[in-house]
Amino acid sequence: MSKVVKFGGSSLADAEQFQKVAKIIHEDEERRYVVPSAPGKRYPKDEKVTDMLYACYAEAEAGEDFLPLLKRIRGRYEEIIEGLRLDLSLEEEFREIEKCFCEKVGKEYAASRGEYLNGLVMANFLGYEFVDAAEVIFFRENGEFDAAYTDEVLSARLKNCERAVIPGFYGATRDGRVKTFSRGGSDITGSIVAKAVRADVYENWKDVSGFLIADPRIIKNPKGIETITYRELRELSYMGASVFHEDAIFPVRQEGIPINIRNTNIPEDNGTWIVGSTCQKSKYVITGIAGKKGFCAVNIEKDMMNSEIGFGRKVLQAFEENGISFEHVPSGIDTMTVFVHQDEFMHKEQKVVAGIHRLANPDSIDIESDLALIAVVGRGMKSTRGTAGRIFSALAHSNVNVRMIDQGSSELNIIIGVADEDFETAIRAIYDIFVITRL
């Protein structure tokens, strides 16, 4: 059996955190493949190494003296190396980084060095083999991740490798140009490695004990989620839950590999299990609540809309022509509403409105702004009667006016639209009725 373990930046911020990580790895012989992030913040006002690298490269690109900041970055690693009492020098690596910065090879290369250097330190500390992600994780020339070729090369590379450290966040094109995933992309690397070695479990270690039912900035000490399915996680991640990079689901989902989100600082916590499917029932009807502010609703009315073939396509074409994606499209017999991100839409609203008039010839168009969307997600909702009614009741009791409600065909989630100003009140009301009072 084998486990892939990924550790986030806060888990590897200093030598003390490295020692915690090593203890966790050595406690389980199955933890054979390690994916580290770059060092994160040691304290609240500290800087993440990745941010320092971006800033350092920006100075180099502008022709300014970037060496003082590069020296500070080097100091972060030397502090870790000294704290761990390692016989390791990064002199040659920093000489190469300085040369590449002078040659302005690109900010993706710059950003990747945080994970690369941390990988070298981690491999040396654990006594594991170091595998440079640029040699085994590949991107196409257009920047897309090349999943098939990566799996082929990475599987072959790790087949006879008993224990290895593979840095997160980056890879390379086939000609060797370094490319990175989006921020938080080390989660994706861990998932890719888990798929390549056909791991039994992908453990993702962070500074939190898994997922919470609601945002702790809104709900004080919310309950944790013990088990969540890939589909539930996708719904919650899409609406703002950000403990785990949502794109990291896909590689392991294809292989049916479970993910376990754990806390480096409280390793005895079981954390949250992310699985393909499960017969285990949630403790509550809902699995989680998440949401975002800052939406607009474009309300279109037209008599006999339902009998006009292609009406919806024509309306959405107006958004497509202006490069605007939509979030939700609830509709009635003679009405259709398109929810879009307000900051994306506001500068093009009149072009879109004109386009709808030109393409679909509606009777009227009305725009509402400053709306929030809240997703109530749970596999238990399918088998529980009256879930939507309970949501309405809770919101009405809290004097929250519901602008929209939309239930997916899978009955896995219910999306509610409310005014931005009612966002926090609405989440508290929903959490209360399903988790605290459980009426």
Residue 338: exposed, middle, or buried by beta-carbon count in 10 A (0-12, 13-18, 19+)? Answer: buried
384 pLDDT tier (thresholds 50, 70, 90)? confident
Q: pLDDT at residue 435 above 60?
A: yes
Residues 181-191, buried b or exposed e (16+ Cβ, 10 A)? beebbbbbbbb
Q: What is the structure's pLDDT at 88?
A: 96
- When pLDDT is averaged across residues 132-139 and rounded to a whole number, the result is 97
Please report the beta strands in 259-393, taking only residues with DSSP state E, as ranges in sequence order. Answer: 259-263, 272-275, 288-301, 335-341, 364-377
Q: Which of 43-57, 172-186, 398-412 has the lowest mean pLDDT?
A: 398-412
Please list the alpha-helical segments (H only) found in 46-198: 49-61, 67-84, 91-102, 107-126, 147-159, 186-196
- Which residue is it, tokens 């897309």? 144
Question: Superfamily for 288-436?
Answer: VC0802-like (3.30.2130.10)
Residues 6+ apart with CB under 8 A from 409: none
How far apart (Å, rounded) are the C-alpha atoms in residues 231 and 299?
A: 29
- Which residue is it, tokens 């292989």? 255
- When pLDDT is averaged across residues 277-303 and rounded to a whole number, the result is 89
Which DSSP letter does residue 84 get?
H
- When pLDDT is averaged across residues 367-371 and rounded to a whole number, the result is 94
Give, in order, the Cα–Cα distances in Å from 438 to each of 240, 286, 391, 435: 24, 10, 12, 5
- When pLDDT is averaged across residues 403-408 and rounded to a whole number, the result is 80
The pLDDT tens digits of the residues spanning 98-118 come to 999 999 999 999 999 999 999
Our separate counts of H helices and E strands in the chain read 14, 16
Query: Helix, strand, or coil here: 144?
Result: coil
Percent of all residues in the chain with a pLDDT value above 70, rounded to a whole number: 98
Give, in order, the Cα–Cα distances in Å from 311 to each of 6, 308, 336, 407: 48, 6, 10, 22
How far apart (Å, rounded) are the C-alpha atoms in residues 134 and 109?
A: 10
Q: Which of 82-86, 202-206, 245-249 has the lowest mean pLDDT?
A: 245-249
Is 380 within 8 Å of 287 (Cβ atoms)? yes
Arithmetic mean of pLDDT over the chain: 92
Q: What is the structure's pLDDT at 330?
A: 85
Q: What is the structure's pLDDT at 279?
A: 78
Q: What is the pTM of this model?
A: 0.85
The pLDDT tens digits of the residues spanning 224-269 come to 999 999 888 888 877 766 667 777 888 898 899 999 999 999 999 9
* Bigger pLDDT: 231 vs 430: 430
- Domain limits, CATH 3.30.2130.10, in the chain: 288-436
- Domain limits, CATH 3.40.1160.10, in the chain: 3-199
Is 170 within 8 Å of 35 (Cβ atoms)? no
How far apart (Å, rounded) are the C-alpha atoms in residues 439 and 435?
A: 9
- When pLDDT is averaged across residues 73-90 and rounded to a whole number, the result is 97
How far apart (Å, rounded) are the C-alpha atoms in residues 303 and 311?
A: 12
Q: pLDDT at residue 408 above 70?
A: no
How far apart (Å, rounded) are the C-alpha atoms in residues 223 and 435?
A: 8
266 is written with which tokens? 């409280």
CATH topology for 3-199 is Carbamate kinase (3.40.1160)
Is 94 within 8 Å of 70 (Cβ atoms)? yes
Q: What is the structure's pLDDT at 238?
A: 74
Q: pLDDT at residue 283 above 90?
A: no
How far apart (Å, rounded) are the C-alpha atoms in residues 360 and 316?
A: 10
- When pLDDT is averaged across residues 342-369 and rounded to a whole number, the result is 94
Q: pLDDT at residue 382 above 80?
A: no
Q: What is the structure's pLDDT at 27?
A: 96
Is 33 within 8 Å of 126 (Cβ atoms)? no
**Is the dihedral angle over the CA atoms 190, 195, 198, 204 positive or is it negative?**
positive
| Amino acid code (one letter) for 260 | N
- When pLDDT is averaged across residues 77-87 and rounded to a whole number, the result is 97
Residues 6+ apart with CB under 8 A from 127: none
Q: pLDDT at residue 410 above 70?
A: no
Q: pLDDT at residue 419 above 70?
A: yes
How far apart (Å, rounded) are the C-alpha atoms in residues 27 and 7?
A: 15
The pLDDT tens digits of the residues spanning 11-32 come to 999 999 999 999 999 999 999 9
- When pLDDT is averaged across residues 118-143 and rounded to a whole number, the result is 96
331 pLDDT tier (thresholds 50, 70, 90)? confident
Q: pLDDT at residue 198 above 90?
A: yes
- Cα–Cα nearest to 396, from 430, 370, 431: 430
Integer Rg of the chain from CA: 25
Q: What is the structure's pLDDT at 417?
A: 92
Q: Which of 211-225, 242-256, 280-294, 369-383 has the lowest mean pLDDT?
A: 242-256
281 pLDDT tier (thresholds 50, 70, 90)? confident
How far apart (Å, rounded) are the C-alpha atoms in residues 7 and 17?
A: 10
Query: Helix, strand, or coil here: 222?
Result: coil
Q: pLDDT at residue 439 above 60?
A: no
